[in-house]
Amino acid sequence: MTDNQKLSCFKAYDIRGRLGDELNPDVAYRIGYAYARHLAAKRVVVGGDIRHTSEPLKLALAQGLIDAGAQVIDIGMVGTEEIYFASFYLDVDGGIEVTASHNPMDYNGMKLVGRGALPISGDSGLNDIRDLAEKLRSPFQRGDVDSRLRGNDEGKSGKDEGRSGNDEETGRKEEERNRSDEEKDRRDEVKDVIASAAKQSSAAVEGGRWTATASGLAETSDINSDLAKSNNLTSDLADKSVIASAAKQSSAAVEDGRWTATASGLAETSDVNSGLAGTSDVNSDPAKSNNLTADLADKSVIASEAKQSSAAVEGGRWTATASGLAETSDMNSGLAETNDINSGLTETNDSESVFSATPFAEKFSQQSILEPYVQHLLTYIDSAKLKPLKLVVNAGNGAAGHVIDAIEECFAELNVPVEFIKVHHEADGDFPNGIPNPLLPENRAATADAVIAHQADMGIAWDGDFDRCFLFDENGRFIEGYYIVGLLAEAFLRKHAGEKIIHDPRLTWNTIDQVLQAGGVPIQSKTGHAFIKERMRKENAIYGGEMSAHHYFRDFAYCDSGMIPWLLVSELLSVSGQTLSSLVDQRMAAYPCSGEINYRVSDAKLTLNKITEHFSTQAPVMDTTDGVSLEFEQWRFNLRMSNTEPLLRLNVESRGDAELVWQKVAEIEAIIQSAG
């Protein structure tokens, strides 16, 4: 990793990137360090979704947070809103969820919040965290991180084995200034270096593919070297802190979509005869020994080389090698990660076993917030009013299932007559039934079919981190999120007359109409969770909704929840005695819409300007809150550019004329196509 590397995984509102080149444990570590430094955070809560890569990314993130001085509370496999809840419930300085939500398998990401679950986006700290993370350089030497942030190379020692005595002395002084509580004798210095080694990863591209080079070693298919090999780890070696501390760290690999952790001193090769990292012919390295003695542990060569680790993607998978490890397909060493773990220095997917041995264990803890979180969810409804309901719930093999199970237990204890029909319920990071994104029509059939087969009252489906909630009526029909916004707004206003409701500008007429009829105050905000939350806080709005199935609640720290909406609709069905179709049919007929249609274009801005010019002279009302919204007497549309892709996003609605909607879609589409 080079200095000031641009981190393309930072987006406008969150962090998302391809595994390997854009997001890896090294980047996660740097994000954690930069986050804690920027916020001066002392206590941070972390969690991750079900993806196989989320756990090791979360651990690397936690190490960065801890190295920057924060205590970390890991709440386990959770959805994003559980991080929101934990952030205000535990009264911490912030929280980070590792999640790619509904993105493809080869992606992951992070959502960041500050104290009180305040969103962190581009203009509210995310760009600053990115800039700081880009300044950090791997591998880190604990004592000189701060000097590197100041652009001072005095403490640099990570990859220069032969640095001068002056540089070494300067580095030690820098370390003393920043880590005054650490012991300074040589053996503990080596211990700390090796312990921090696995946190870092550097990568080399050779012949168009990533190949791992760890501690000056190269990956090959035939490993005949005795480099640092020991067939018999003696008790003398076992007494040394080098191996003891090395085992405390892990580096990670993705194989067929799954991450595997390998601890320092382990190897993965096609033919590993030595149990060490591979070269074509390594017969004379300073680290070679059939018996690793205490003297070897003190050599600066090991101290410096162990600071390095590298990560590789080969054939679409991640491989990690740390402190002399190499990736291969066949492991014959007792110090290797295998299907049968015989070594104490072995891979683990268990975060507790990783951190139980880490020198940072005193700053890392695990805590479940599931029970208080579920109790909080149930405060939004009167459970006693719920009538017998049969609900199809589709977690999409994502993170929602464990929350549904906990709510089901609470309902049973309260004798609430709600039956859950569970579809794709078990959490599975392989997503055997496809990426959980119910917004895609091809992902809706399982929920719709189950509703019909079980004659259910409603179907509910979530994306991977369940921050979005999608509803199906009793006929298995998918209900556009736009109409659920109006439904929930009306439900809140029945209990809290005169309150403010926030909505996005893409589709508006139905929401505005329902809010006004219910005695509320509709307020428009720019699209996006950061903007909605900010406007809700400013207005102290009780509820906010987007047509994209994001719903925000004042009593949930103005954050979005994918669990509260279906609970509220369940109560509404019970109290009104109506079906979901009867509640939305009239609204859908009054304000039919196209739903969001995406168009890939060569020049989004030019095309947007061309369409605006074409219609602006005819439109009595034009609004530029987000893209451009043009309103006519009987129809309106919103057209906006994607923040991340060369896309235009179109939404059209009318006053009671569905045919007009599609006529106007075709008219606008023709202009888009002519623009190229």
Cβ–Cβ under 8 Å, residues 429 and 41:
no
10 Å CB burial of residue 205 (0-12, 13-18, 19+) is exposed
CA-nearest of 471, 443, 467 to 457 is 471
- Upper half-sphere CA count for residue 652 (Cβ side, 13 Å): 20
DSSP for 445-490 reads HHHHHHHHHHT-SEEEEE-TT--SEEEE-TTSPEEPHHHHHHHHHH
Tokens of 414: 């309260």
Distance CA 223, CA 9 (A): 36
Cβ–Cβ under 8 Å, residues 179 and 274:
no
Cβ–Cβ under 8 Å, residues 591 and 611:
no
Which residues, other chains included, contact 156 with Cβ-Cβ below 8 Å and sequence gap of 6+? 141, 144, 148, 163, 167, 171
User: Residue type for 545, please?
Assistant: G
54, 87, 101, 351: the active-site residue: 101
Which residues, other chains included, contact 453 with Cβ-Cβ below 8 Å and sequence gap of 6+? none
Which whole-number Å values give the CA distances from 512 to 505, 588, 591, 636, 666, in the listed order?
A: 11, 14, 11, 14, 26
> Does residue 164 have an active-site annotation?
no
CA angle at 388 for the pair 383 and 391, rounded to the nearest 5°? 90
Tokens of 49: 């979704």
Distance CA 265, CA 55 (A): 21
Cβ–Cβ under 8 Å, residues 200 and 140:
yes
User: Residue type for 115, please?
Assistant: R
Tokens of 453: 């087969």
β-strand 43-48 against 71-77: which pairing, if any? parallel
N-term to C-term CA, the chain: 40
Distance CA 41, CA 563 (A): 29
Q: What are phi and psi of 311, to 5 degrees?
A: -125, 145
Distance CA 598, CA 577 (A): 38
Q: Is the peptide bond before 139 cis (omega within 30 degrees of 0)?
A: yes
- Upper half-sphere CA count for residue 654 (Cβ side, 13 Å): 14
Q: What are phi and psi of 129, to 5 degrees?
A: -65, -40
Cite the active site residues. 101
